[in-house]
A and B are shown apart, each in its own frame.
Chain A
Amino acid sequence: MLAHRIIPCLDVKDGRVVKGVRFINLRDAGNPVACARVYDRAGADELVFLDITASHENRKTMLRVAEKVAESIYIPFTVGGGIGTIQDIRLLLKAGCDKVSLNTSAVLRPEFIREASHRFGQQCIVVAIDAKKDGNNSWRVYTHGGRTPSRWNAIRWAKHAEKLGAGEILLTSMDRDGTKQGCDLELTRRISTAVSIPVIASGGVGKLEHFYNALVKGKADAVLAASVFHFGELSIRRVKTYLKKHGVLVR
């Protein structure tokens, strides 16, 4: 059967990893290729690079990063952040990345999901949802890196994104992100059961049981985490051993 995935996420700014791998003595913790290699060897099932470059010109550096990463690792990787056109996607896929993650551009113009999915295939279009609680069992979708509330309810948006051709949902709870208190399980479970495409849970993972909860109680297909891995608080192996021991199928 299909294994649950554990996915480290690296933030990239102007071609350099911010808060890179710190748990081993890496000569250059800002080098995306070096960080990718470390996680490839450490047993990561996939990698996500989030491009937080502000200026448009410097975005081209992400293409060179993608090219080098693609030549260095043999697991799939996704690039997200600031992708707004079919041409952006075409160049990233051509550079060697396997999937792209769309966020703001998709919320502003949902048809973009359909166009991208039709052009490149559903399997490489991830829709990232930043969601924040705005009531009892209700979450709002935010754009522009969590700064701008949209008109979308998160569950409705996830279903709509699926209908338009998203191949996967990357769900981040803004309330939990950075708190290390665990994923928002209610949000994760509701989205995961509302759609029939895979859901990656993110935001708030700090302890071993948070991975278990997101996968078993939240019914997520994968968990994405950043700092717990980068700073070596948890290793991917330890997470997988823990999950296996508790009856969760991992690779």
Chain B
Amino acid sequence: MICVIDYGMGNLRSVSKAIETMGGRTFLGRHPRDLKRADKIVLPGVGEFGHAMQALSKQKLIEPLQEILLSGEKPFLGICLGLQLLFESSEENRKVPGLKIFKGSVQRFPKKKIGLKVPQMGWNQVRFLRSSPFIRKVPNQSYFYFVHSFYATPHEQSLDLGITEYGVRFASVIEKEPIFAVQFHPEKSQAAGLKILKNFVAY
């Protein structure tokens, strides 16, 4: 069973539904014990970075999540804010640290410098840098649906599996098996997004 973590950050219905359509069985997890009994874990989320970390903390999920992620014992998928939370910190809230699985921080799009609208809202392309079971049979340069004002800047370049251009070039898909994370919303990205979810289910 795939545990979709419910920590009050955004609607989980679309994510769960899309995973189920791709053959995965899901349940909503709110407690540390839910993470234990899951085969795989999905961390979705829209909203504010600090607020999200506080919500995870309140549900006593930070340490169990860190344990699972650092040991690599279960496949993990982070979506949108669920990608950003894997890093050390975010410009969105400097007082609250992230899960610190990966070195690097989360930055705001420099809208003045790039002269583009923030949030980035809509369909943008992802260029894959290597092959991976996570993106199997997903055409390179596929469009995915993005909604975000912040993006992660990993220290280790080897984390970058896919990159996207929006004034700056940023890591839109990161991978360190069995950890995967995407900045876009696969559940809102039609065939390409569903394919990625299917690959995660099959992983």
Q: CB within 8 Å of B: which residues of A?
A: 1-5, 40, 45-46, 67, 70-71, 74-76, 93-96, 98, 120-124, 167-168, 196-199, 221-222, 251
CA distance A120 to B48 in the complex (A): 9
Taking A75-B188, A98-B14 as known contacts, 12 extra A-B pairs with beta carbons closer than 8 A to each other, sorted by chain A number, are A1-B166, A3-B143, A4-B122, A5-B123, A46-B122, A74-B191, A76-B147, A93-B10, A122-B119, A221-B122, A222-B122, A251-B143
Query: Judging by beta carbons under 8 Å apart, are A74 and B122 in contact?
Result: no
Query: Judging by beta carbons under 8 Å apart, are B17 and A2 in contact?
Result: no
9 sampled A-B residue pairs with Cβ under 8 A? A1-B165, A2-B116, A2-B120, A2-B166, A40-B190, A123-B148, A167-B119, A168-B121, A198-B121
Query: Judging by beta carbons under 8 Å apart, are B47 and A74 in contact?
Result: no
CA distance A70 to B147 in the complex (A): 17
Q: 6 shortest A-B CB distances, which residue pairs?
A: A123-B147, A251-B123, A121-B47, A96-B13, A3-B123, A251-B143
- Tally of B interface residues using CB under 8 Å: 36
B18 is an interface residue with CB less than 8 A from chain A: yes
Question: Which residue of chain A has the shortest Cβ distance to B193 in the bound complex?
Answer: A74
Q: If A5-B123, A45-B122, A123-B46 touch, does A76 touch B143 (CB 8 Å cutoff)?
A: no
- Partner of A167 from the list B17, B121, B189, B194 (CB cut-off 8 Å) is B121
- Tell me the minimal C-beta distance from A67 to chain B in angstroms: 8
B111 is an interface residue with CB less than 8 A from chain A: yes
Give every chain A residue within 8 A of B46 (Cβ-Cβ): 121, 123-124
CA distance A2 to B164 in the complex (A): 9
B117 is an interface residue with CB less than 8 A from chain A: yes
Query: Judging by beta carbons under 8 Å apart, are B117 and A196 in contact?
Result: yes
B102 is an interface residue with CB less than 8 A from chain A: no
Query: Judging by beta carbons under 8 Å apart, are A98 and B188 in contact?
Result: yes
Give every chain B residue within 8 A of A3 (Cβ-Cβ): 122-124, 143
Question: Which residue of chain B has the shortest Cβ distance to A250 in the bound complex?
Answer: B123
Give every chain B residue within 8 A of A74 (Cβ-Cβ): 18, 187-191, 193-194
CA distance A70 to B146 in the complex (A): 17
CA distance A197 to B116 in the complex (A): 9
- Partner of B123 from the list A45, A67, A93 (CB cut-off 8 Å) is A45
Query: Judging by beta carbons under 8 Å apart, are B124 and A71 in contact?
Result: no
- Tell me the minimal C-beta distance from B190 to chain A in angstroms: 5
Query: Judging by beta carbons under 8 Å apart, are B117 and A70 in contact?
Result: no
CA distance A122 to B123 in the complex (A): 18
CA distance A120 to B111 in the complex (A): 22
Give every chain B residue within 8 A of A2 (Cβ-Cβ): 116, 120, 122-124, 146, 166
Give every chain A residue within 8 A of B47 (Cβ-Cβ): 120-121
